[in-house]
Amino acid sequence: MKESSDKRHIAILGSTGSIGTQALEVLEANPDSFVLEVLTAHSSADLLIEQALKFKPNCVVIGDESQYKKVQDVLFDEGIKVYAGADSLAQVVQMEEIDIVLTALVGYAGLRPTMAAIEAGKHIALANKETLVVAGDIVTELAKQKGVNIYPVDSEHSAIFQCLVGEFHNPIEKIYLTASGGPFRGQTREQLASVTKAQALKHPNWDMGAKITIDSASMMNKGLEVIEAKWLFGLKPEQIDVIVHPQSIVHSIVQFEDGSMKAQMGLPDMKLPIQFALAFPERLKSDFPRFNFLNYPQLTFEQPDPKTFRNLALAFEAMKLGGNQPCILNAANEVVVDAFLKDKVTFLQMSDIIEQCMQKVAFIQKPNYDDYVATDAETRSVASQLIKND
């Protein structure tokens, strides 16, 4: 057994979500490699308590302050410290004991704690792609200054990262991000006009949180991932391509300057990229189900359809314009996805509102952190107004 100092000490932000709970399975299966220091949740107090009683972290944070007492009442006797609110989230990630912060919370809320963790020199295992979409320039610059690594958890970016191991000195010619195409692959705009939230929430290959599942149905997830890839791997927009691969077995591809292409494959299971990010450069032995070629006699590839799935085109446009445009795209998307989940807008209206926000909110070429905060707030208010007037 390794000494505690040889083990990686982990904080999981968003431990009650899809990525968070799978990360805990990885930690549970590898007690010799990891020590859990921090768990956090937004409002799922009961699950947070259950996880804390099982994993005995140093401390927990509940985002929703009204649930502080409930959590504190149970965990106090266990010697587990309990904090509440967004400020606490940004503070606990700076705890001395932590080596890596897994950002498994959803949306713009990830930006501040991720910046705080990097500021304190913590490595990041990044699931929260929205952070890089909103402010990729300042986040990657700060990480460089602080000597902090950002290990991708998103399966496509983990695939690219795995293909790059041993190749870091070789320039990338281009990358292909694979996309499953989601539940509405091949449908026309007429068909999309009447799709329901229940249909959109049924992803063919992955079981994920509600927001990313809607993003996958609308192709915004791939759009966000294109921008995420730009920042993670230092790419130009024209070096990033998307290819639809409905089986989700090839997780992404790197093409090098000699024309050789490397792909990373496996069954769709987020535990693998989570574990790879937390244990890098080691590959820990696992009992995850293995891929069998005979179960997949055909792996197929097709062009995406950005005319029907306009979010993909909007994301490419935002990436090319740069500045605060991706931040506007992200904030508008968070508002419309929430509205779609509450039956306040239709599936196709989501792209219309995002596009209008990109036109209405003032463009800033070189935003600083405060500009991003202001852009996010302004976009949310513009998007909400557009939804009300509709």
Residue 130 in contact with Mg ion, rule: CB under 5 A: no
Query: Which partner from the list Mg ion, ligand NAD, none does 206 bind, CB cut-off 5 to 8 Å by kind?
Result: ligand NAD
- Please answer whether residues 212 and 106 qualify as being in contact, where contact means their C-beta atoms are separated by less than 8 angstroms: yes
- Please answer whether residues 136 and 227 qualify as being in contact, where contact means their C-beta atoms are separated by less than 8 angstroms: yes
Question: 10, 11, 19, 163: which one contacts ligand NAD (CB under 6 A)?
Answer: 19
- Encoded one letter per residue, x for contact with ligand NAD by CB under 6 A and - for no contact, window 234-273 reads ------------------------------------x---
Helix ranges, the chain (H):
18-29, 45-55, 68-75, 86-92, 111-119, 129-146, 155-164, 189-192, 197-200, 210-218, 220-233, 271-279, 310-321, 325-341, 347-360, 369-389
- Encoded one letter per residue, x for contact with ligand NAD by CB under 6 A and - for no contact, window 55-74 reads --------x-----------
Tokens for 371, please give them.
């500009």
Query: Which partner from the list ligand NAD, Mg ion, none does 333 bind, CB cut-off 5 to 8 Å by kind?
Result: none
Q: Which is nearer to ligand NAD, 204 or 256 (CB)?
A: 204
Residue 228 in contact with ligand NAD, rule: CB under 6 A: no
Nearest C-alpha neighbor of 214 from the set 103, 311, 135: 311
Residue 218 in contact with ligand NAD, rule: CB under 6 A: no
Cα–Cα distance measured from residue 388 to residue 383, given in angstroms and rounded to the nearest whole number: 9
Residue 152 in contact with ligand NAD, rule: CB under 6 A: no
Residue 109 in contact with ligand NAD, rule: CB under 6 A: yes
Cα–Cα distance measured from residue 325 to residue 189, given in angstroms and rounded to the nearest whole number: 25
**Sole window of 53-61, 103-111, 141-149, 154-162 interacting with Mg ion (rule: CB under 5 A):** 154-162
Contacts of 330 (CB under 8 A, 6+ apart): 108, 130, 133, 134, 224, 376
Question: 11, 17, 250, 383: which one contacts ligand NAD (CB under 6 A)?
Answer: 17
Contacts of 4 (CB under 8 A, 6+ apart): 35
Residue 105 in contact with ligand NAD, rule: CB under 6 A: yes
Residue 127 in contact with ligand NAD, rule: CB under 6 A: yes
Residue 14 in contact with ligand NAD, rule: CB under 6 A: yes
Supply the Cα-derived Rg of the chain in whole angstroms.
20
Minimum distance, C-beta of residue 269 to Mg ion, in the bound complex (Å): 13
Minimum distance, C-beta of residue 210 to Mg ion, in the bound complex (Å): 15
Query: Which partner from the list ligand NAD, Mg ion, none does 143 bind, CB cut-off 5 to 8 Å by kind?
Result: none
- Please answer whether residues 144 and 210 qualify as being in contact, where contact means their C-beta atoms are separated by less than 8 angstroms: no
Which CA distances in Å does 346 have to 184, 194, 197, 350, 385? 14, 8, 9, 7, 16
Residues of the shown chain interacting with Mg ion in the complex, contacts defined by CB under 5 A: 154-156
Residues of the shown chain interacting with ligand NAD in the complex, contacts defined by CB under 6 A: 14-20, 41-42, 44, 63, 104-106, 109, 127-130, 154, 206, 208-209, 211-212, 270
